[in-house]
Amino acid sequence: MKTRFEDEKLKWIPLLILLVFFFPFILKSATFSYKYYLYVINLAGIYMILTVGLDILSGYTGLMSLGHAAFLALGAYFSAIMVDQLGLPFELSLILTPMLVGCFGFIIGFPALRVQGIYLGLTTMGFGFIVKRLIIVFNEWTGGSAGLSVSNAKLFGWTINSDWENYFIIYFFVIIAIIIGRKIVRSKLGRAFMSIRDSEQAAIASGINLAKYKMISFFISGSFAGLAGVLFAHTSNFISTDHFDILLSIYFIVMVMIGGIGSIYGAVLGTLFIVLMENLFIPLFEDGLSKFIHLETGDFQAFIFGLIMLIFIIFQPLGLYGMWLKMRIYWKIFPFNPRKRFT
C-alpha cells in the first residue's frame, strides 16, 4: 500500500546533513542579528520532531489529537526533574523520557478504541487540561504556575550553553526523527496504520488488530513529543504551564495540515513555514498592515493563520509538499505535459 504522496529514497540525507552543518555559518556571515534567527530555527527544529510524530498519528493512522502540547510538557518536566532534581545524566533522560511520555500516549490510546474524529480530539484536549492541572498541583517538583528553571544539557561531559551548540544537537535529532519516521511509515507497521486510516472495516477484514496498532501509534507519537520536550526544556532553560496551552496543540495540527497531512516531509515543511511566519514574517509586516486591519497583536496573528489555513484548504489541500510534488512531476514530463495544448 502506497502513501498518498510519492515515495522517495533517502539519497538527500547526506545533502541535508551538509546543509544543516553549514547553515549557521552562512547565517552568521549574512546578518548581524543571527542569534535571534538561530533561536527561531532551533524552535522550529524542536517542533519538527513533534510534528513528525503527530503526522504518524494523524496523517498515517487517521487519529486526531489536540493534546500534543501536553506530551511536549510531560517530556520537558520529566527531563527537568530527572536531570536537575534526581541527578540523572542528561543522556539517560534522552532515553527514558521519550519512553515515559510514550507510555502516557499508549494510555491515551485507549479512548481511540471507542471514539473517533472530533470526539477523540476533545478527549486528548481534556488530557491536556489534566496535565496542566497536575503540573500546578505538584508544585514542589514542577514549580507550579511560577515555572521551573532548567539547567543546560550536558552531553558526555560537554555542557551545551549557547544557541549555536543547541542548533547542532537539535538538528541531529531532527534528521534522526525524519529517518525513523520514514522507516516506520514504509514498514509493515506503517502499512497497518494506513489501512486503519483508509478503512477500519477493511483493516479488520485483513486481520489487523485495531486496538494494538492504534495504541502503538499513540506510543510512537508520544515518544517523538517526549524527545522534543527534552530538547525544549534544556535549550530554553525555563518552562511553565504558559508554554503548553491548547493553542499550541492547535498550531501543531495547523503545521501538519499546511505541510501536507500524510507526509513526513510535509510535517517538516509545514512546521518551518508556520514558525517562520509567526516569529519573522508576521512581525515584519504587522505595523504596515495594522494601518488597514485594526487588530491587537495576538488577534492579528490569529487572523493571518486563519487566512492561511483557509487558502490552503480551498486551493492547496495537499499542502506544501503536495505543491512541491506537483511542480516536480510537471517539470519531469515537460514539455510533454498532457494538459498543455498546442495550436
Q: Which pLDDT belongs to residue 342?
A: 40
Higher pLDDT: 23 or 154? It is 154
Lowest-pLDDT choice from 3-7, 95-99, 185-189, 312-316: 3-7
Higher pLDDT: 295 or 23? It is 23
Q: What percent of the chain has pLDDT over 90?
A: 40
Whether the predicted pLDDT of 6 surpasses 50: no
* Residue 288 banded pLDDT, cuts 50, 70, 90: low
Which amino acid appears at position 19 of this protein?
L
pTM metric for this prediction: 0.87
Whether the predicted pLDDT of 286 surpasses 90: no
Q: Which pLDDT belongs to residue 117?
A: 81
Give alpha helix (H) positions in the chain.
Answer: 13-30, 34-55, 68-80, 90-108, 117-137, 139-142, 163-185, 188-198, 200-205, 210-236, 246-259, 264-276, 282-289, 297-315, 319-333
In the block, cell 529514497 appears at 9
Q: Which triple of cell numbers denotes residue 18?
A: 551538509
Q: Are 57 and 121 in contact (CB under 8 A)?
A: no
Whether the predicted pLDDT of 13 surpasses 60: no
In the block, cell 496498532 appears at 213
Spans of all domains in the chain: 10-243
Whether the predicted pLDDT of 120 surpasses 90: no
Whether the predicted pLDDT of 323 surpasses 90: no
Lowest-pLDDT choice from 95-99, 111-115, 143-147: 111-115
* Residue 161 banded pLDDT, cuts 50, 70, 90: confident
Q: Please give the Cα distance from 343 to 338 (Å, whole number).
A: 14
Give the single-character DSSP code of 85: I
Instruction: Give strand pairing partners of 148.
Output: 239
Whether the predicted pLDDT of 338 surpasses 60: no
